A and B are shown apart, each in its own frame.
Chain A
Amino acid sequence: MTDMFVSLGTWNWLIFGFILMALEVLAPGIFLFWLGLAALLVGLISFTVVISWQIQLVMFAVFAAAAVPVWRRLARPNLDASTSPFLNKRTEALLGREFTLEKPIVDGNGTMRIGDTVWRVAGPDTPAGTRVKVVQVDGVNLTVATA
């Protein structure tokens, strides 16, 4: 076993890298992918430059750690894109929409019927029947302004 491992030499890194990537598909969590990437990188480098296995290990660790900030800078916006950005974000979906006040806003607080439930809204004092626009959402609190 050890003999085979030693005889394969730098090929071990490439094999290890692909195995990690394959495992990533089976158990998604992203970190195995980076480890695999780091392993492939170490393998490619050790093909061209002869370095000791200890240095190879340290390089592997550094590449793996470095993958995180690199990924954060480059890939994040693309990876996070969704076709339903307002899933589980019902209030954000209301942002910018206009509604008619059913009851007046008094002392900065009132209620407004949206869909088949009643939302509490904050905003400047306005009489009932006014068209208002949702200008800000914060959790369950909606802020409105006269449209």
Chain B
Amino acid sequence: MSGFDIFAIVLVLLVIVTLVAGVKTVPQGYDWTIERFGKYTQTLSPGLNLIVPYFDRVGRKINMMEQVIDIPEQEVITKDNATVTVDGVAFYQVFDAAKASYEVSNLTQAITVLTMTNIRSVMGAMDLDQVLSHRDEINERLLRVVDAAVSPWGLKVNRIEIKDIVPPADLVEAMGRQMKAERVKRADILAAEGQRQSEILRAEGAKQGQILQAEGRKEAAFRDAEARERSAEAEAKATQMVSDAISKGDVAALNYFIADKYIKAFGQLADSPNQKIIMLPIEATSILGSLAGIGEIAKATFGESAASAAAAARRGSVPTTGATPPVVPPRQG
């Protein structure tokens, strides 16, 4: 084998080795740093890249995707001396692969420790109640502080979330009791208020009822009085009319009215199916007897006008006083 043979074979091998060393395919989501003689020179972005073999070599392969790290559990003493156990998560993303590679060593540990100490300082300045209720505010403050601190490392903390805040068991139990007492108090107050309201309503109802009743009575009394007035008026008018009629006409008309009413009343008594024996008080019969007497007196008094009165009575088919009812008993004085 001649020297040229060997040279040709070695040349091919050299080219192949050089190509293999010089062609770098960086996957998406990563950036590779290149060190020339150990010193950073450039960053390879995803895709096909060429480096100069022999001088350059790949330094760090940095993950450029957003990553999450667990912030381990730690105990934090709040401003009011309650010891709570806290853990969380932090999301970060590398934006500058060179800085993330060379400005900090052990990136994730640095972020973790930084976040833990800041959790302590932020939550240590708050009361337990605040810590439990202001989680958003804690996250926000943590994010600002930690993000500012990691910025020289070419990365950004996008989010820090406190996962769990666990107060000691006895404190949790006390908080539970406090809450329960509060609810019971509210329930009691509500019940008392309900009772008060219902009693007020009931009393008001009763008051209203009484008022209405009194008003009803008042109204009724008014109307009764009015009715009495009206009936008195009517009576007076009727009496007036009767007396007018008598003064104008025959006294026999009066007798007619009385007799008519008497007969009607007596007829009613006689009609009664279970009352065949009729008892009449003495006074009644004597009144009836007196009627005829009154007629005689009237005749004598109004002597000359009696004829005209009788004529008027005939026109009106009114019987004269002499026609006394047949049921009048004979006993009269």
Using a CB–CB cutoff of 8 Å, the interface residues on chain A facing chain B are 28-31, 34-35, 53-55, 57-58, 60-61, 64-65, 68, 72, 76, 79-80, 87-88, 90-91, 111, 116-120, 139-141
Q: Which of A29, A53, A55, A139 contacts B95 (CB 8 A)?
A: A139
Distance from B204 Cβ to chain A, minimum over Cβ atoms (Å): 57
Distance from A139 Cβ to chain B, minimum over Cβ atoms (Å): 3
Q: By CB atoms of chain B within 10 A, which of A72, A91, A117, A119 has the most?
A: A117
* Tally of B interface residues using CB under 8 Å: 39
Complex A-B, nearest 3 residue pairs according to Cβ-Cβ distance, in ascending order:
A139-B96, A57-B8, A31-B19
B282 CB-CB contact with A under 8 Å: no
B96 partner residues in chain A, CB cutoff 8 A = 139-140
Residue pair A54, B95 in contact (C-beta under 8 Å): no
Distance from A39 Cβ to chain B, minimum over Cβ atoms (Å): 10
Query: How many residue-residue contacts, CB under 8 A, span A and B?
Result: 87
Residue pair B159, A31 in contact (C-beta under 8 Å): no
Residue pair B95, A68 in contact (C-beta under 8 Å): no
A91 partner residues in chain B, CB cutoff 8 A = 95
Can you name 7 extra interface pairs (CB under 8 A) apart from A117-B159, A118-B147?
A29-B23, A31-B23, A53-B8, A61-B14, A79-B48, A88-B65, A118-B144
Residue pair A54, B4 in contact (C-beta under 8 Å): yes
Residue pair A57, B9 in contact (C-beta under 8 Å): yes
A72 partner residues in chain B, CB cutoff 8 A = 50
Question: How many angstroms between the C-alpha atoms of A91 and B96 in the bound complex?
Answer: 11
Q: By CB atoms of chain B within 10 A, which of A76, A80, A140 has the most?
A: A140
A57 partner residues in chain B, CB cutoff 8 A = 8-9, 11-12
B148 partner residues in chain A, CB cutoff 8 A = 120
Question: How many angstroms between the C-alpha atoms of A60 and B20 in the bound complex?
Answer: 16
Instruction: Given A54-B4, A88-B65, A118-B147, check contact A29 B47 (CB 8 Å).
Output: no
Question: How many angstroms between the C-alpha atoms of A117 and B140 in the bound complex?
Answer: 9
Residue pair A29, B143 in contact (C-beta under 8 Å): no
Distance from A133 Cβ to chain B, minimum over Cβ atoms (Å): 20
B64 partner residues in chain A, CB cutoff 8 A = 88
B158 CB-CB contact with A under 8 Å: yes
Q: By CB atoms of chain B within 10 A, which of A29, A76, A119, A139 has the most?
A: A139
Across the interface, name the chain A residue whose C-beta is closest to B65. Answer: A88
Q: Contact mask B4-46 → A, CB, 8 Å, 1/0? A: 1101110110111011101101001100000000000000001
Question: How many angstroms between the C-alpha atoms of A29 and B18 in the bound complex?
Answer: 13
| Interface-located stretch among B149-157, B181-189, B290-298 | B149-157
Residue pair A140, B5 in contact (C-beta under 8 Å): no
Across the interface, name the chain B residue whose C-beta is closest to A69. Answer: B50
